[in-house]
Amino acid sequence: MLFNSLTFLVFFATVFLLFKLLRSWEARKWLLLVASYMFYTAWNPPYVLILIASTCLDWWLARLIWREDRPSRRRLLLIVSLVANLSLLAFFKYGGFVLSNAEVLMAAAGVAYHPPLWDVVLPVGISFYTFASLSYTIDVYRKEIAADTPLRDYALFVAFFPHLVAGPIVRARALLPQIARPTDSTREQIGWGLMLVAMGLFCKSVLADTLLAPVADIVYAAPGAHPGAGALAGVFAFAGQIYFDFGGYSLCAIGLAMCFGFAFPDNFRFPYAARGFSDFWRRWHISLSTWLRDYLYIPLGGNRGGEWRTCRNLMLTMLLGGLWHGASWMFVLWGALHGSFLVAERVLRRMKPGWFDDTGAAPVLTVVTFLLVCLAWIPFRAPDMATGVAVLTSVFRPGLPSLDEAMALLVMALAVAWQWRIRDQSLEEAAARWSEGMRGMVAAACLVGLFMTSGGDSRAFIYFQF
């Protein structure tokens, strides 16, 4: 069930109306839990059993960890949670990847090995709800939160439909207290929440799907036929597509949750105006980058233990972050590029700190960061190395863009300029200065854009596949 579908519109309107009619907070929570399971069941009914089983296991293990005083026993219970969750994720997401690579390795050793066809459907959202659930057991193990949450509340935290299939990866410590206490949305929250949904759908349907995705698809399908500015337009178009697609989804998720009175953290904060790669990862997919920082980078040692170990930890974190996105060496390459960028930036900050502190150099640093980020998107989008190399080499060949490619370049230029202008604010802070007339114009523009692009090619959100 896609946010940008009429089916979801009817689903949300029905759930929201029932939510407002119910006066008991307990009844409202049951409603949201049942609705969330229905939302997930609409995609693939049997796979909701995996979601329920994973939820019950982590809730039970967390309670055992919370009650246990012996360090060795607590550590063992945490390992059980980690192994159970990551094994489930590995089976569905990386089983085919492991088999195909085993076939290649066996062939290199002279052994003819032909694995069975891997025909297992990846449960939508499994990467997101696995990380959200793991944050609970890990935080309980660290004694940062208590495991006294009722099973119903914990199940709602994991399955709440706005963030279930593509995030943001909301931490238990942030959402469980909101679920525990009775809350209701104000008229202002509902209004701003619906505005965020409209803006998110506009970003998805108009900017990502209509203006940018077709250009990226054409260029990556035949990179040799689009040299120079055409290939660059394809690279920039995908950079814009994935931002407006995933950023649009995050706006929808935050807005939908706000309509029910829940606050989700921001997931994007104008990343294409970043000054350096550490700044980029403070702005891009914030819920994932902070999760990797708190549960992977810091446990590996973080920036403790010397420069070499810090760089090693950065690289390992980004490699695993790349692999999290999908079972492909292209995603690993994308993670390796960002790990290399972060390491290089760290070295440069020590050698030339003035480069990053000089406000006069900020525009140059932003442009360099943006260009390298866009080039790193090539292996993320390309289906294989040959296509990625072809796109990269086409960028450096002479050629003029087509009309659609020129439009994509213009859209991205305007997007980066807008992000640069308000990079030090949140969207809410920027919108707070809008007049009522401006708010009305923005809402009207979003609705008109959605109406004009309705009935076309309906694409799933990109991050559904992760």
Q: Are residues 335 and 430 in the same domain?
A: yes
Rounded-to-integer distance, Cα 156 and Cα 192, Å: 23
Q: Are residues 177 and 202 in the same domain?
A: no
Would 108 be classed as within a structural domain? yes
Give the residue numbers spanning the domain of 304: 189-465
**Is residue 224 over pLDDT 70?**
yes
- The predicted-structure confidence for 337-380, as pLDDT tens digits, reads as follows 999 999 999 998 888 777 777 677 788 899 999 999 999 999 99
Q: Are residues 288 and 337 in the same domain?
A: yes
Residue among 359, 370, 364 nearest 424 (CA): 359
Band of pLDDT at residue 163, cut at 50, 70 and 90: very high
Q: Are residues 158 and 225 in the same domain?
A: no
Cis amide linkage into residue 46, ω under 30° from 0: no
Which pLDDT value is given to residue 466?
A: 66
Q: Are residues 285 and 250 in the same domain?
A: yes
Would 442 be classed as within a structural domain? yes
> What mean pLDDT comes out for the span 289-296?
95
Which pLDDT value is given to residue 125?
A: 87
* Continuous segment of H or E residues that includes residue 403: helix 403-421
Q: Are residues 157 and 198 in the same domain?
A: no
Which pLDDT value is given to residue 358?
A: 66
Would 34 be classed as within a structural domain? yes
Q: Domain boundary at 159, 183, 207, which?
A: 183
Rounded-to-integer distance, Cα 85 and Cα 13, Å: 34
The proportion of the chain whose per-residue pLDDT surpasses 70, expressed as a percent, equals: 98
Would 370 be classed as within a structural domain? yes
Would 207 be classed as within a structural domain? yes
Do the Cβ atoms of 204 and 5 come closer than 8 Å?
A: no
Would 1 be classed as within a structural domain? no
DSSP for 352-388, written as a single string: -HHHHH-GGGHHHHHHHHHHHHHHHHHHHH-SSHHHH
Q: Are residues 193 and 264 in the same domain?
A: yes
For 399, residues 6+ apart whose C-beta sits below 8 A from its C-beta are 226, 227, 228, 229, 230, 231
Would 78 be classed as within a structural domain? yes
Known catalytic residue at 325: yes
Would 326 be classed as within a structural domain? yes
Domain count, the chain: 2
User: What ranges make up the beta strands (E) of 182-325?
Assistant: none
- The predicted-structure confidence for 239-258, as pLDDT tens digits, reads as follows 999 999 999 999 999 999 99
At 283 the three-state DSSP class reads coil
Q: Are residues 216 and 73 in the same domain?
A: no
Q: Domain boundary at 168, 183, 198, which?
A: 183
Which pLDDT value is given to residue 455?
A: 66
For 336, residues 6+ apart whose C-beta sits below 8 A from its C-beta are 315, 318, 319, 322
Which pLDDT value is given to residue 408?
A: 95
Band of pLDDT at residue 107, cut at 50, 70 and 90: confident
Of 163, 226, 325, 338, catalytic: 325
- The predicted-structure confidence for 66-97, as pLDDT tens digits, reads as follows 999 999 999 999 999 999 999 999 999 888 88
Q: Are residues 338 and 275 in the same domain?
A: yes
Q: Are residues 205 and 277 in the same domain?
A: yes
For 30, residues 6+ apart whose C-beta sits below 8 A from its C-beta are 152
Q: Are residues 118 and 201 in the same domain?
A: no
- The predicted-structure confidence for 403-417, as pLDDT tens digits, reads as follows 999 999 999 999 999
Q: Are residues 342 and 196 in the same domain?
A: yes
Q: Domain boundary at 133, 163, 183, which?
A: 183
**Is residue 198 over pLDDT 80?**
yes
Task: Tell me the pLDDT of the chain averaged across its residues.
Answer: 91
